[in-house]
Structure 1
Amino acid sequence: MTPEVEHTDVGAYALGLLEEDDRRAFSAHLADCPSCTAELTELSGMASVLAGIDPIEDDKNEHTGEVPHAEVIDLLRRKKAADRRARRGMFVIGTAAAVTLVAGGITVGSVISGGEGTAPMAHSTHSPAQESFEEGTPIAGTGADGVSGGLVLEAKGWGTHAALELKGVKGPLECELVAVSKTGERRTVTGWAVPAKGYGVPGSPRALYVHGGTALSSGDIDHFEVSTTSGKTLLTVKI
């Protein structure tokens, strides 16, 4: 895949329109492209909303009866741009709230991480997660094995929104951010994969940022944990 194709195929990948070879190639590309990863998080939510909508009669292909794929992808991109202008990150946060209500606290997070070099043109250098973190007042966490980081919390009508910064973590790992209530109840806020090169470490100096939500109110939360799927706690944030 050429660099141009890689970055313009986010919409097609989100809708499942790529051929198998291109799908695998684009999946590999995501591991090293923070801007595409952030855009995919937002487009995936919108694609799932559009998936249940019947084709628009006036725009159907006269042979297949379907709306052209390019038009759907363009609609997704225009919708995302309009949402961003209205309020940065609100679509992703709103999606997190909706999934919290439906799935009991499991939410969608977005990631921006550290490939070296300059971010591709026409892509934001900051994800909604990083913007939320940098605009708030972080609560520092206590890490293990050189891991550091913190959380920015925001009370919502549906619960609590959390933005996480994480440094000093090496992969490959699968991790979760978990809210632990004062009664010991555990609610998963969001999850992600850490590639082998890691985040906030020599050779990959940029931090990882994710965000999500929990139905627990901040007053009911004792602390947050960043844990691996094998059960190891990497970071604890007491609130």
Structure 2
Amino acid sequence: MTSRVEHTDVGAYALGILEEPDRTAFAAHLATCPACTAELQELSGVAGALAGIAPLGNERDDTGGGDRGPAEVVSLLRRRKAADRRARRGTFVIGAAAAVTLVAGGIAAGTAISGESGTVPVGHSAHGPAEDAYRSGTPLAGTGASGVTGGLVLETKGWGTHAALELKGVKGPLECELIAVSPAGERRVVTGWAVPEKGYGVPGSPEPLYVHGGVAWEPAGIDHFEVRTTGGDTLLTVMV
């Protein structure tokens, strides 16, 4: 991707398996490409499921090479990325969902995106899954930096916590992450995204940003969430 930015690399970016030069180039591309930004929001649940799954032991390698641990599964995904890069985005998402099942031993990516009990109906709403998840619950209000507002809706899952974020009052270009923080100060990235120059929930671009993802901790094991830029600035803090 170093010679040109490919739209299909949004999947690899969401999973965090782009090499650093490609990651930097694609982050810059996101700031000017609403289509890729929207797709990144749709894929954030898959990325969050992968990030929030703790190692559960060795899994069987589908190439016949014996058992592989989670680290080797990630390595296998990296080797396959180059071959899959020019495939349709839908094929990549199916592969990512298969990777979730492989690592977790049966946890489906669709669970993280649509909810275990059908709370967020996929394909039956004018909104995206992140906004549907946010609208379906009772938000926890956040404390933001100057002009930034937002909140979180949390949902307990068998695998941990599903979090849906609404964010307003931000302008880009920025790269941001939603981070869960334990009472002991341990930190886990729930999901990440890019903010284009026009921003969200600001004059000229009034629509809020909605993203969602997952973390392996239960809500009782989380002290608060932070929305932080990759530059280290805290934009929003939501206490649990």
The number of residues matched between the two structures is 168
Contact 1:35 1:124 in 2 (8 A): no
Q: CA deviation at 1:158?
A: 1.0
The verdict on how the C-alpha distance between 1:169 and 1:96 changes in structure 2, with shifts beyond 3 A counting, is: farther
Q: Per-residue CA shift, 1:52-87, capped at 9, x if unaligned? A: 999xxxxxxxxxxxxxx9xx859859x98xxxxxxx
Alignment of 1:45-194 (within 5 A): 125-194=126-195
Contact 1:189 1:212 in 2 (8 A): yes
The verdict on how the C-alpha distance between 1:38 and 1:130 changes in structure 2, with shifts beyond 3 A counting, is: farther
Aligned equivalents of 2:99, 2:238: Cα separation in 1: 21
Matched with 1:20 is none
TM-score by length of 2: 0.56
Q: CA deviation at 1:14?
A: 6.1
TM-score by length of 1: 0.56
Aligned equivalents of 2:89, 2:33: Cα separation in 1: 24
Secondary structure of the residue aligned to 2:39 is helix
Matched with 2:56 is none
Q: CA deviation at 1:33?
A: 3.2
The verdict on how the C-alpha distance between 1:95 and 1:158 changes in structure 2, with shifts beyond 3 A counting, is: farther
Secondary structure of the residue aligned to 2:34 is coil
The structure with higher relative contact order (CA 8 Å, sep 6+) is 2
Between Structure 1 and Structure 2, whose CA radius of gyration is higher?
A: 1
Alpha-carbon RMSD: 4.4
Structure 2 stretches lacking a partner, 5+ long? 1-5, 13-25, 48-60, 64-83, 106-111, 114-122
Structure 1 stretches lacking a partner, 5+ long? 1-8, 16-23, 46-51, 55-68, 81-91, 103-108, 111-121
Counterpart of 2:128, as a letter, is S
Contact 2:183 2:222 in 1 (8 A): yes
Q: CA deviation at 1:172?
A: 0.8
Contact 2:145 2:234 in 1 (8 A): yes
